[in-house]
Amino acid sequence: MYTKLLKLEFKSFIRNPQFGAQLAMKILMAFAYAGMSFTFVMMAVGLYFISVEELKTDPIALFSRYFLYYAALDLVLRYFIQQMPTQNIKPFLTQNITKKKLVNYAILKIIFNFFNWGYLLFLLPFCGLLIFHGSYSIAGVLMFLTGIMAVFYFSNFVNIVLNKQNLVLYTVAAIMIIFGFLEYYGYVHLSAFSEKIFKAFYGVPGVFLIPVLLAVAAGYWSYRNIYSNFYLDKGLELEQAVGKTENIDFLNRFGTLGTFINNDIRLLKRSKAAKSALFAGIMFLFYGLLYFSGKAYATDFMRVFLGIFVTGGFMFMFGQRVPSWDSSYYPLMMTQKVPYKDYLQAKWALVVLATAVSMVLALGYLLISWEFYLTIFAAGLYNLGVNSYLTLLAGAFNKKPIDLNSSSKSFGGGGNNFNMKVMLIMIPQMVLPMGVFALVKFFAGIEIAVASLGALGLVGFLLRDKIFDYIVKIYRSEKYSTIEAFKKTA
């Protein structure tokens, strides 16, 4: 039965009307996974030899010292990124297939997901070096390997159980951030506690069974959670809530444009997918901290790259998914007399506002250097006047629907939202400002370089009406193919 389900998923993939774009993305994802695999292996080798030759310390102790922080980060990232693979098997709920087999199939797909077993690409080389180069006990290293992998699977299953428990995840994230700051300033030493716990997997026989048993218990708990909600009229239905009116009155003075902005604000408040985009945009504010990670990011070219994402995180996460946010009612909306320009300008106003706020919040980078903040400020100006339009233009070619009616991310759709046209549009979004800034700064200094990107942004604002006319024309030309794609739900 599981083989048949895999075959049906494969047929669904090759018969999809967007097969070409999806195949291209699969190839790109394969290269990305290959790159991640190579990185994991190199990190394992680097960790071992740096700890042995440079720091003169036990590699297992160094790994264990900071693993608790990484495990907490892994849990939070999984909560916002991981999707349960139930969307593709929803149609089988009406067929003569037992619910138990369908749930087992979903659990198996989770277990064999790359972001679970992929950690072996780090742990196997690391453990191999411990055994063959460091003369560590084979039995102890195998216990250590089993215990660490069990922690990752425990995190995976806990993420499923904690689905929709935003407060719990925010609390965990806040606590770990506080502990991180306190440890940085020497008030607490959580890393020492972490080292004792995870190093015991190697040195104390039987301790590694604790995370194994916890992972099994969490797996069974998540299995029962999915099983009890795996009904068309329960776990997958539209969540019932007390109706209430949410409206920002002053926006009504802007007519249709204000109505669309109000709808988008409601979307950000109610939809888990939209909240994730907003959260990702906030997280991108810290992207500039990569400035400390090496000399590569100290170049003018790469600092602009950081600045684009620091100020434009929400813009990329939200803007490139227009009109997918409205996919559930987009065909109906297109039968009405909807002013396309007002619809797109509402989305544009939202991303511009978020970009402007990010530029203000990024003032904290003045603590690094005023030149670095000026670079971020210049990138923000370019995002405001150029990239804000390009993200909307990219959205015209993004025809992957978003299921906002799903009661949770575990039972909702996911998937990649990029295609080759979107990738091509990213060239002027990224390469052009980086090249212009670096070139102008080399010949005229940082002030003129900032002014040059600001001038490009100003030109974009002055040509706003003509640019929107062109974007509206593109959206209209893609209208019927977009409607057809949105109607093809799993």
Q: pTM of the prediction?
A: 0.57
Residue 434 has pLDDT above 50, yes or no: yes
Q: 428: which residues sit within 8 A by CB, 6+ positions away?
A: 386, 390
pLDDT band at residue 238, thresholds of 50, 70 and 90? very low
**Distance (Å, rounded) from C-alpha 382 to C-alpha 385?**
5
Highest-confidence segment of 42-56, 68-82, 161-175, 389-403: 42-56
Based on the fold, state whether residues 269 and 392 are members of the same structural domain: yes
Do 258 and 178 share a structural domain?
no
Domain around 209:
2-229
Residue 237 within a domain? no
Last residue of a domain, one of 194, 229, 264: 229
Residues 161 and 71 in one domain: yes
325-329, Cβ contacts within 8 angstroms, sequence gap of 24 or more: 325/264, 325/267, 325/271, 325/274, 325/402, 325/404, 327/401, 327/402, 327/486, 328/401, 328/402, 328/403, 328/404, 328/405, 328/486
| Same domain, yes or no: 213 and 308 | no
Non-local (6+) Cβ contacts of 323 within 8 A are: 330, 395, 475, 482
17 in a domain, yes or no? yes
Residue 124 pLDDT exceeds 50: yes
Same domain, 209 and 274: no
**What is the pLDDT at residue 417?**
43
Q: Is residue 240 part of a domain?
A: no
Are 292 and 434 in a shared domain?
yes
* Residue 7 and residue 108 in one domain: yes
Residue with tokens 């530029």: 359
**Domain check: are 301 and 258 in the same one?**
yes
**Is 267 a member of any domain?**
yes
Residue 347 within any structural domain of the chain? yes
Same domain, yes or no, for 371 and 457?
yes
Give the C-alpha separation, 198 to 416, whole Å: 35
| Contact by Cβ (8 Å): 301, 434 | yes
Whether 259 and 174 share a structural domain: no
pLDDT, tens digit (0-9, with 9 covering 90-100), for 6-64: 676 667 666 665 555 566 666 766 776 777 788 888 888 988 998 888 888 899 999 99
- Compare 274 and 387 and report the one with higher pLDDT: 387
**Residue 427 in this model has a pLDDT that exceeds 80:** no
Does some domain include residue 238? no
Check whether residue 338 and residue 368 sit in a common domain. yes
What does R_g of the chain's alpha carbons equal in angstroms? 25
Angle between helices 138-161 and 209-229 (to 10 degrees): 30
State the total domains in the chain.
2
Residues 109 and 258 in one domain: no
Structural domain contains residue 301:
yes
Greatest Cα-to-Cα distance within the chain, rounded to the nearest angstrom? 74
